[in-house]
Amino acid sequence: MRDITPLVIGGSTERERVPTVIVPDHADVAHLLADRIVQVIDEHVSATGRCVLGLATGSTPLGIYQELICRYDAGEVDFSNVVTFNLDEYYGMDPESRHSYHRYMQENLFAHVNIPADQVHVPKGTVARENLREYCEGFEAAIRDAGGIDLQLLGLGKTGHIGFNEPGSSKDSVTRLVTLDTVTRKDAAGDFFGEDNVPREAITMGVATILGAREIALIATGEHKSAIVRRAVEGEITPDVAATYLQTHTHARFYLDLAAAAHLTRIATPWVLEPVEWTVPTTDRAVVWLSETTGKAILKLNAKDYTENHLSPLLAQHTSPGVINGAVFNRLRDKIRGRARLPHERRVVVFSPHPDDDVISMGGLLRKLWENKNEITVAYMTSGNIAVFDYDVRRYFDFVDRAGEALGLRREVIDRRRDELEASFASKRPGDIDIPLVQNIKRVIRECEAVSGIATIGMPASAARFLDLPFYRTGEVQKRPIGEEDVTEVRTLLEEIQPELVFIAGDLSDPHGTHRMCKEAIERAMDVQPVIDAERWYYRGAWQEWPLPEADVLVPLSHEELRTKISAIFKHESQKDAAPFPGPVDDREFWQRVEARNQDTATHADRLGLPEYYAMEAYVVKRPNSHDHASQA
């Protein structure tokens, strides 16, 4: 059991309407909740002979379940007297479907611990519609008969839903059939390989059922949850955000990683709540915030702006606002690095979680580094094959079929492979794992696109290395945890190249966590003794950009450079027009998000009074032996 108490992040909770625990990393949340669940099981089994847990599904609780399995294997917890009730299940879902929460719970927890099968309760999605009311009433009765739920785990949906209690859910609602919100279905589209395949209904515990638990633990991780976290924690109670009902519970608590807590007042703008230590990073954040709040360029901020916006203590430490303004302005300006100020003739490894993240995230800088005669290796960490549509396989195989004679391919081999492909597609349901032949063709499609992408910015095919890490090779959306085999493969590459700069995806908003897992593999590989003592440059993916105060390097791009970057993204044809995993809410293609994000970064810098550029990329840098904020990127 790991003591993470020293890692809990403090600060004034004045605006928080529900107790909130914030820790640096998503793994810390898993450790903390696993500790609490083990404690609750021990307490309630000792007191009453049983413990009743309410369980959640989705990507967020996976780390908790993995921790519980480890503790069970270590003999630290016994599940024989535990009774469980799951929050929800899609309606019409076969329990054996890979999308079923029955199967999810079996694969991720129940099959690995000693909980008796008759003590497990997951709503049945196959109940006849005419029997639903009776079934839901029976589910509620089973909870009451068990003595009520001792600890209820919750995730947090993009709309603020808990369970499947969508906007408009009543505080008095109980277990029932619900219609899923459009945002919820888009959020789940990746798991089902398309929004059209996502069920439109689900059975869910109601808000009143959830609030009936003796203790509630809501977990949220990742930047993409930060806006709804703030609304749930600091906003008024409203049926539009079901999670706000938790504010009325005497023993509800939110458990957040720092990324999910980023918009809470005590993290985003702590100076409006209490005195803070005016370090350089805090000063820069505060002055940029003040500039944004007042709509003034940094060098135009005056004493009145500071005093009317909670920054009198900062002003009191300096002789005039001009001194603060100038110092912050100069620090921000010095972050801007054109090609002449970027690395020259150094060994560089760019790690790309998927075969397109390199050009999506850092296509502009990548081109400049190549022009500066750096020795660059782009290491594509996963095949990305699950993100290729079946029709792309048919299209490329049709090319092979038509070109077979010119290429000297044997007709009987082509025909046999075509029959194998078509037979697999004919029997395949949405989300089914592809046969090995299809998986390999999809892998090759993405590899060819990756090579074409870097060629667009002038780099040779020899710069590409395809690692195809084992954790990704499940053939489905859910991946295995990062293991020693993954770390060893990354370490082997690093030892071969001995890079001076390493680029890492620091994006914590990747919908299915591949970026986060790749980051873990790289950092574990670099931190093995002897340490790979290279600069670590962290970039963001397709979802967000580093805020200007947090970035260490801002790379300006001209109109022509941004066009070239977008052309490189276009080479990833399987991801264009309708990518299988675009992320929730944002319907724009990846190139459109990149164009807007890079231009918005430059526009933001311009509003602060910095030199005006067409577009910008941003990076956080952790230098060898340093322990700055990038270590938590």
Rounded Cα distance, 579 and 489, in Å: 28
377: nearest Cα among 259, 495, 201, 265: 495
CA-CA-CA-CA torsion sign (622, 626, 628, 633): positive
pLDDT digits (tens, 9 = 90+) for 236-279: 999 999 999 999 999 999 999 998 999 999 999 999 999 999 99
pLDDT digits (tens, 9 = 90+) for 13-37: 999 999 999 999 888 999 999 999 9
pLDDT digits (tens, 9 = 90+) for 329-342: 999 999 999 999 99
Q: Same CATH topology for 16-266 and 339-387+419-632?
A: yes
User: How many CB atoms lie under 10 A from the CB of residue 400?
Assistant: 14
- Give the rounded percent of residues in the chain with a pLDDT score beyond 70: 95
Q: What is the CATH topology of the domain spanning 16-266?
A: Rossmann fold (3.40.50)
List of residues 6+ apart from 354 with CB closer than 8 A: 380, 381, 382, 384, 387, 446, 514
Rounded Cα distance, 20 and 232, in Å: 11
pLDDT digits (tens, 9 = 90+) for 584-624: 556 788 899 999 999 999 999 999 999 999 999 999 999 88
pLDDT of residue 297 exceeding 80 = yes
Query: Which pLDDT band, with edges at 50, 70 and 90, does 501 fall under?
Result: very high
- Which pLDDT score, from 0 to 100, does residue 138 have? 97
Among 108-122, 170-184, 450-464, 470-484, where is mean pLDDT lowest? 470-484
Active-site option among 166, 447, 489, 520: 166
Q: Using omega within 30 degrees of 0 as the cis cutoff, is the peptide bond preceding 530 cis? A: yes
Domain ranges of the chain: 16-266, 271-334, 339-387+419-632
Instruction: State mean pLDDT over 37-60.
Output: 96
pTM value > 0.85: yes
Question: Has 43 been annotated as catalytic?
Answer: no
Q: Are 458 and 400 in contact (CB under 8 A)?
A: no
Lookup: tokens for 49? 């002979």
Query: Which pLDDT band, with edges at 50, 70 and 90, does 629 fall under?
Result: very low
Whose tokens are 């350089």? That residue is: 280
- Which pLDDT score, from 0 to 100, does residue 119 have? 97
Homologous superfamily of the 339-387+419-632 domain (CATH): LmbE-like (3.40.50.10320)
Query: Which pLDDT band, with edges at 50, 70 and 90, does 181 fall under?
Result: confident
pLDDT digits (tens, 9 = 90+) for 454-488: 999 999 999 999 999 999 988 776 778 899 999 99
Lookup: tokens for 244? 């706000």
- Which pLDDT score, from 0 to 100, does residue 631 have? 38
Burial 266-286 (b: 16+ CB within 10 A, else e): bbebbbbeeebebeeeebbbb
